[in-house]
Amino acid sequence: MDKKVWIKFAYVLASALVLGVFLYLIQIPSFRSFLSGIENKTFDLRQSIISKYAKVSDEIVIIDVDDASYEYIVDRYGAWPAPRVFWAKLIKDLEPSDPSALVFDILFLKRFASDGNSDLELINAVKNNKNVYAPINFDNYSKEVRIPPNLPLHLQNNIEGDFLIKNNPDLVYSNCRKIIDEILNGTKNIGFINVHRDDDGVIRTMIPFLYYDGAYYKHLTLLSGLDYLGLNNSKFKMNKKGEIVLDNKHTLPLNNDGKLILNWYGPQWSFNYIPLWEISAAIKKSDRAFLDKNLKGKIVFIGVTANSLSDIKSTPVSSLYPGVEVQATFLNNILDNNFIKRINPVFDILISILIAFLVGFGVMNFKSPVKSVLLLFGLNIGYFILSLLFMKFFNIWISLIAPIILSILIFAAAYVVKYLITSRDYEHTYKLAVTDGLTEMFNHRYFQEQMSANIRASKRYNSVFSLIMVDIDFFKKFNDTYGHQSGDAVLRQVAQTIKKNIRSTDIPCRYGGEEMSVILTNTNKEDAIKTANKICEAVRNKEFELATGDWTHVTISLGVASMPADGDTTEKLIEYADKCLYVAKKNGRNQVVFEFSEDV
């Protein structure tokens, strides 16, 4: 197979394997939950960036019970919550400024037995002013704790084609904390104020509708927003995309869990806040100009922001977000038709595969690791910026984590493939560099390297090793008789015979011409002599095939030297083995010599 084809095949195979494993893992709930948690954090990051450039609606005002207002109420009434008559008077005093809506983010639960007149005043203030909105709250308390109440029919809604809400356990409730019965039955401006937190405690979505006792109920903020837009009714229709279409400009694009993903407006305190004590002071001074300027035609939320009253939420843009501002953010999304829509998961998978394969392709084609790393970071940073732009200008949430993780996995897989191929090429190149082409023994350069390495090891660890020098007898005459091609054939076969009769740890080399050598690691002289004799006998008894097709016998002479007995340097050991080889030739060849007299 052509090398380039092999590289592409290996890359595609590795990428397909990684992709398959990744797709398998995301089917596991715990792994999918892990990815979802990280993805939510990337949503928070993007929201914290783009929310700084988002503009809140001038139509929304928050009258907040801050710490100073809390103290103001406690000083005058002795405790929190303020008596119902306080809120009744506040409604009456604010109505002349003609606010579009007064939305209470404060629950008025049950009547006070000790102060019935105070309750009555609040009831009348709410019933007599059609722009006052009061909340209820749903929960799943046992009927042993609280008997689930029957809510008025005029609060119920119908959603045709719903396949997201009443089938989601998170949106189906079995009990309700109702407010004063006279308010509950006396006005249609009642909605729930439940909020939804993700597993990490952060509020990213809001519940527009929930299901209780066989009917749908609206969120209080949704109710006030629809009234402000003139779109409120009790019958809605959900299309196949999971959207509730209100008119040509406004839709509720429900997420696949029946919730709305909020688009946030900067850090906390982004809206127009007026402390309750300041409103009370203006009322006391009859400063109608101040009240009209700030409240006329506005949707006014009344809620708690005091730290001591603990209505603080964690959101993508702040961990200290007043609960009433969460409601204001929800309303602002309704007015601006500004909800975030999660893109189709199929697109997430396709873009993940595209980015991952681009990264892998770059790794396989770039020689420089720096370029490969830059490509990985460049593509992911570019994709992050693209996702940021999509969220800012199109309100679309594109998944970040799946493409990033998959691209990193493919990057690693491509480098493994590249490393294996490079290692294979390096190994092949190195083998060519240290191998004699004719005999397939190691060459002279490698022989010298290994001799030096074995001498260093022998000196360091006080160990032994041996060297055998081999020469084919009468080889020049053999070449003259049978020709060089036959000589080469015999050289190859003698080399093969030597390799078959030594250990795998021994190092056979072609020293030069017809001369060969064997480095025997961790071998003393006695064992080296045995090995030399074994080689000598194997060559003597073997019949060698010539280039002409004929067969013949050859013999070899061998000289043996050992360290440290016969020398402690490469030169001394080679010299000793050469002298032994010389003696073997002088004494008739076809033999092993391992010692000699000094007069040689």
Q: Distance (Å, rounded) from C-alpha 428 to C-alpha 435? A: 10
Average pLDDT, the chain: 90
Q: Distance (Å, rounded) from C-alpha 253 to C-alpha 339? A: 7
| pLDDT tens-digit map of 378-408 | 889 999 999 999 999 999 999 999 888 888 8
**Strand partners of residue 138:** 176
| pLDDT tens-digit map of 343-366 | 888 888 888 888 887 887 777 777
| pLDDT tens-digit map of 438-475 | 998 999 999 999 999 999 999 999 999 999 999 999 99
Averaged pLDDT, 272-291: 95
Contact between residue 436 and residue 513 where contact means Cβ atoms under 8 Å apart: no
Q: Which pLDDT value is given to residue 406?
A: 85
In 3-state terms, the chain is what percent helix, strand and coil (to 5)? Answer: 50, 20, 30
Check pLDDT > 90 for residue 433. Answer: no
Q: Which pLDDT value is given to residue 1?
A: 47
| pLDDT tens-digit map of 315-333 | 999 988 899 999 999 999 9
| pLDDT tens-digit map of 250-279 | 999 999 999 999 999 977 778 999 999 999
With 0-12 / 13-18 / 19 or more C-beta atoms within 10 angstroms meaning exposed / middle / buried, residue 562 is buried
| pLDDT tens-digit map of 18-47 | 777 877 877 888 888 888 999 999 999 999
Check pLDDT > 60 for residue 593. Answer: yes
Q: Distance (Å, rounded) from C-alpha 381 to C-alpha 399? A: 13
Cis preceding linkage at 564, omega within 30: yes
Check pLDDT > 90 for residue 424. Answer: no
Which of 56-65, 362-371, 390-399, 588-597 shows the lowest per-residue confidence on average (mean pLDDT)? 362-371
| pLDDT tens-digit map of 187-242 | 999 999 999 999 999 999 999 999 999 999 999 999 999 999 999 889 999 999 99
First to last CA, the chain: 57
Q: Which pLDDT value is given to residue 464?
A: 95
Single-letter code of the amino acid located at 159: I
**Of 480 and 24, which is predicted with more confidence?**
480
Check pLDDT > 60 for residue 600. Answer: no
Cα 550 → chain centroid? 70
Check pLDDT > 80 for residue 8. Answer: no
Averaged pLDDT, 511-532: 94
Q: Distance (Å, rounded) from C-alpha 594 to C-alpha 244? A: 99
Check pLDDT > 60 for residue 369. Answer: yes
Question: What percent of the chain clears pLDDT 90, i.e. is strictly above it?
Answer: 71
Single-letter code of the amino acid located at 447: F
Check pLDDT > 70 for residue 422. Answer: no
Q: Which pLDDT value is given to residue 112?
A: 66
Q: Distance (Å, rounded) from C-alpha 251 to C-alpha 256? A: 15
Averaged pLDDT, 162-175: 95
Q: Which helix (H) or strand (E) holds 211?
A: strand 209-212
Averaged pLDDT, 335-339: 95
Q: Helix/strand/coil (H, E, C) string of 33-81?
A: HHHHHHHHHHHHHHHHHHHHHCCCCCCEEEEEECHHHHHHHHHHHCCCC
Distinct helix (H) and strand (E) counts, the chain: 18, 27
Q: Which pLDDT value is given to residue 545?
A: 93
Contact between residue 581 and residue 559 where contact means Cβ atoms under 8 Å apart: yes
